[in-house]
Amino acid sequence: MSISKYKIPEMIDLPSRQWPSKSITTSPQWCSVDLRDGNQALPDPMNPEQKLEYFQMLCALGFKHIEIGFPSASQDEFNFFRRLIEENLIPDDVFIMGLTQCRPHLIERTLEAFKGCKQGIVHAYIAASDLHMKQVFGLDWAQTIEAAVNATKQIRELAEKMPESDIRYEFSPEEFTDADPKFGIDLCEAVFEAWGKATPEKPLIMNLPATVERRPPNHYADMIESFCANFSQRDCITVSLHSHNDQGMAVAATELALMAGGDRVEGTLFGHGERTGNVDLVTCINNFYSRGIDTGIDFSDLAHVVETVERLTGMPVYYRQPYAGEYTFTAFSGSHQDAINKGVHKLSEAPEHFGMGWKVPYLHVDPADLGRKFERLIRINSQSGKGGIAWVLEQDFGIQIPKAMQPELSKYVQAYSESVGREISSDEVHSVFQEEFVLPKGPYELIGYWPRPDDQDPTFIHGEVKLKVNGKEKTVKADGNGPISAFVNAIQRIVEPEFKVNDYHEQAIGEGADAKAMAYVPLDIQERGVVFGVASDSNIDQAAVRAIIAGLNRVSKK
Ligand code: KIV
Ligand code: ZN
């Protein structure tokens, strides 16, 4: 490695910067640039049908500025504009955008593509950094300004020949963050003047790109604040941000630049784009949503967006992608699972304690708001804890494992997960629970239990039990103060070891006529401690006695 090739980027001279003490309280405008030519650097660009589906998804999500292509780049790109316009496929409140370089024949073709549209934004760009101007185009500052001004005038002239369309203008000094700040402003002022008709109602969009992320996010914010402070007619421009993710900080750069005065954000879903991509709009937008800011974009079915984007772009969304990744809201570790479980159960207390409707450990946003299912929140492997295992059984099967039983259950689930050496499904967790606690193999099989209330005192029970012990049928009778005690008194005569049932936990599973009672019965055995048995039945007493038999079978295994 050769560290001496690089240097720390120079800070912007902005000693009285204000942005660090600002906070964002309203949403910026959002602009999707997913559909540019080459569809933002996809190995297999979308065909027109796929592009149309993507466009319609963006409209349905609520985007109002959508860059649909580079119409002068190819016949396909041009045709896509024409199709959307001629087949009336653009919602009335959506501005389509088309990108062009500042070159006369390309501009001519671009404006032709917009003919007949209700509202559109022509987006012209020119390289503004010395690196680009000198080494790529062989232009100096004056020549660059001249080309941008000529392009702007040409766009204005052609747009004025289309009075039926509301054509707005966006200008991008490419590599703004690598350009001389003073030259950046001079270039944009000259373009503004050449356009000549920007007003607060119809502002010119000044898009200030971090074309390559060469600086830390605070530098971008400084440049935006400085630009806003020095631009002559700030109220007649929309300051638009367009950051790339070369250093992995595009979202941070965008947020700081919004604090510094940006009004609008250009980006792509899941950060598609050249190299490491553009800023990820799904993250940016949901960050604001998670702070209670209305963004105007509806990600309530994010799984559908993920599925659509993956299918149309052929590129997978990463497992840990904020908000959208498969594991984004999943806890594997026991302590996290336990905390989430407790937090969700105490959610009703959140408004009183924290002044907000959602405050849950390890989850800054409610996954359900994004259409994410709770059952994916907690996943089980050998690292998982008792809280997570209880959660899975409750969420997926409605089974509420009593606290005292959870440590023992989790031992069996962990052992199973270790033996298979992978994450296990909730069905597998359920099977372990069933095999271990509900239907353990053992010497006892209950044939039937008949509790009969006493003729004089109906709370006093005469019980009769038919039980197979190692395949041999036996009948025993005894009395008790209730059906469970009569049962226990009866079977104590033929089973081992001696045990007591002090208390047990029951719950209903299902509703109405199909509801079943689930009984979790701790058998208190001298010198052994507590052993749980579990069973369900349409009758709660029958569920409890079956659970006792399950518990005895478990004891006999050890
Ligand atoms: O990154 C960039 O500079 C661009 C411009 C064309 C706006 O994409
Ligand atoms: Zn870009």
Q: What is the mean pLDDT of residues 527-537?
A: 93
Which pLDDT score is estimated for 16?
A: 94
Tokens for 377, please give them: 């929140």
- Integer angstrom CA distances of residue 255 from 25, 217, 268: 12, 9, 15
Residue 337 reports pLDDT greater than 50? yes
Domain that holds residue 381: 334-427
Residue 254 Cα to ligand 1 middle (Å) = 15
Domain harbouring 531, CATH code: 3.30.160.270
Domain shared by 421 and 457, yes or no:
no
Q: What is the mean pLDDT of residues 378-388?
A: 79
Cβ–ligand 1 contact at 328 (below 6 Å): no
Which residues lie below 8 Å from residue 138, measured CB to CB, with a gap of 6+? none
Which pLDDT score is estimated for 502?
A: 85
* Residue 277 · residue 242 · CB < 8 Å: no
Cβ–ligand 1 contact at 172 (below 6 Å): yes
Rounded percentage of the chain residues whose pLDDT exceeds 90: 85
Q: Classify residue 319: in a domain, yes or no.
A: no
pLDDT level of residue 385 (50, 70, 90 thresholds): confident
Domain shared by 534 and 487, yes or no:
yes
Residue 48 Cα to ligand 2 middle (Å) = 22
Which ligand 1 atom lies nearest to the CA of residue 209?
Answer: 3
Q: What is the mean pLDDT of residues 238-250?
A: 98
pLDDT in tens, 441-498: 999 999 999 999 999 999 999 999 999 999 999 999 999 999 999 999 999 999 988 9
CA distance 491 to 477: 8
pLDDT level of residue 386 (50, 70, 90 thresholds): confident
Give the chain's mean pLDDT: 94
Q: Classify residue 326: in a domain, yes or no.
A: no
Cβ–ligand 1 contact at 278 (below 6 Å): no
Helical segments of 62-139, H only:
75-86, 104-114, 130-132
- Integer angstrom CA distances of residue 325 from 31, 221, 360, 367, 377: 22, 29, 19, 11, 12
State the pairing for strand pair 461-469/444-453: antiparallel
Residue 31 Cα to ligand 1 middle (Å) = 13
Cβ–ligand 1 contact at 209 (below 6 Å): yes
Residue 38 reports pLDDT greater than 80? no
Residue 140 Cα to ligand 2 middle (Å) = 22
CA distance 479 to 27: 73
Q: What is the mean pLDDT of residues 286-299?
A: 98
Cβ–ligand 1 contact at 100 (below 6 Å): no
Atom 5, ligand 1: residue with shortest CA distance: 174
Which pLDDT score is estimated for 558?
A: 66
Residue 404 Cα to ligand 1 middle (Å) = 60
Cβ–ligand 1 contact at 50 (below 6 Å): no
Query: In the listed set 241, 273, 297, which residue is the last one of a domain according to the structure?
Result: 297
Domain shared by 87 and 190, yes or no:
yes
Q: Classify residue 14: in a domain, yes or no.
A: no
Domain shared by 101 and 175, yes or no:
yes
Specify the residue for token string 């659509």.
308
Cβ–ligand 1 contact at 436 (below 6 Å): no
Domain shared by 225 and 169, yes or no:
yes
Which pLDDT score is estimated for 373?
A: 65
Domain shared by 419 and 449, yes or no:
no
Domain shared by 153 and 56, yes or no:
yes
Q: Classify residue 366: in a domain, yes or no.
A: yes
Q: Classify residue 436: in a domain, yes or no.
A: no
Cβ–ligand 1 contact at 132 (below 6 Å): no
Which phi and psi angles does 132 have, rounded to 5°?
-70, -50
Highest mean pLDDT among 45-49, 277-281, 395-399: 277-281
pLDDT in tens, 192-209: 999 999 999 999 999 999
Domain shared by 179 and 282, yes or no:
yes
Cβ–ligand 1 contact at 125 (below 6 Å): yes
Q: What is the mean pLDDT of residues 273-281?
A: 96
Domain shared by 227 and 350, yes or no:
no
Residue 172 Cα to ligand 1 middle (Å) = 7
Q: Is 405 helix (H, G, I), strand (E, B) or coil?
A: helix
Atom 2, ligand 1: residue with shortest CA distance: 211
CB-facing half-sphere around the CA of 419: CA atoms within 13 A: 8
Residue 62 Cα to ligand 1 middle (Å) = 23
Domain shared by 84 and 139, yes or no:
yes
pLDDT in tens, 112-144: 999 999 999 999 999 999 999 898 998 999 999
Which pLDDT score is estimated for 42?
A: 83
Domain shared by 416 and 495, yes or no:
no
CA distance 6 to 459: 88
Query: Which H/E stretch holds residue 155?
Result: helix 141-160
Which pLDDT score is estimated for 434?
A: 96
Model pTM? 0.81
Which ligand 1 atom lies nearest to the CA of residue 244?
Answer: 1
- Helices 386-397, 426-433: inter-axial angle, 10-degree rounding: 100
pLDDT level of residue 107 (50, 70, 90 thresholds): very high
Ligand nearest to the CA of 205: 1
pLDDT in tens, 7-27: 999 999 999 999 999 999 999
- Cβ neighbours, 10 Å, residue 388: 28
Residue 375 reports pLDDT greater than 60? no
Q: Classify residue 314: in a domain, yes or no.
A: no
Which ligand 1 atom lies nearest to the CA of residue 99?
Answer: 6
Ligand nearest to the CA of 178: 1
Residue 152 reports pLDDT greater than 60? yes
Residue 244 Cα to ligand 2 middle (Å) = 6
pLDDT in tens, 167-193: 999 999 999 999 999 999 999 999 999
Helical segments of 5-115, H only:
48-61, 75-86, 104-114
pLDDT level of residue 376 (50, 70, 90 thresholds): low
Q: Cis bond leading into 181, ω under 30°?
A: no
Query: In the listed set 427, 453, 486, which residue is the last one of a domain according to the structure?
Result: 427
Atom 8, ligand 1: residue with shortest CA distance: 211
Q: Classify residue 327: in a domain, yes or no.
A: no
Which phi and psi angles does 408 have, rounded to 5°?
-70, -45
- Per the structure, the count of domains in the chain is 3
Ligand nearest to the CA of 271: 2
Ligand nearest to the CA of 176: 1
Tokens for 130, please give them: 């010395």
Q: Which of 513, 519, 516 is nearest to 400 (CA)?
A: 519
Residue 460 Cα to ligand 1 middle (Å) = 85
Ligand nearest to the CA of 172: 1
Which pLDDT score is estimated for 332?
A: 82
CA distance 58 to 63: 6
Domain shared by 104 and 250, yes or no:
yes
Residue 374 reports pLDDT greater than 60? no
CA distance 110 to 117: 12
Q: Classify residue 9: in a domain, yes or no.
A: no
Query: In the listed set 427, 455, 480, which residue is the last one of a domain according to the structure?
Result: 427
Q: What is the mean pLDDT of residues 59-64?
A: 98
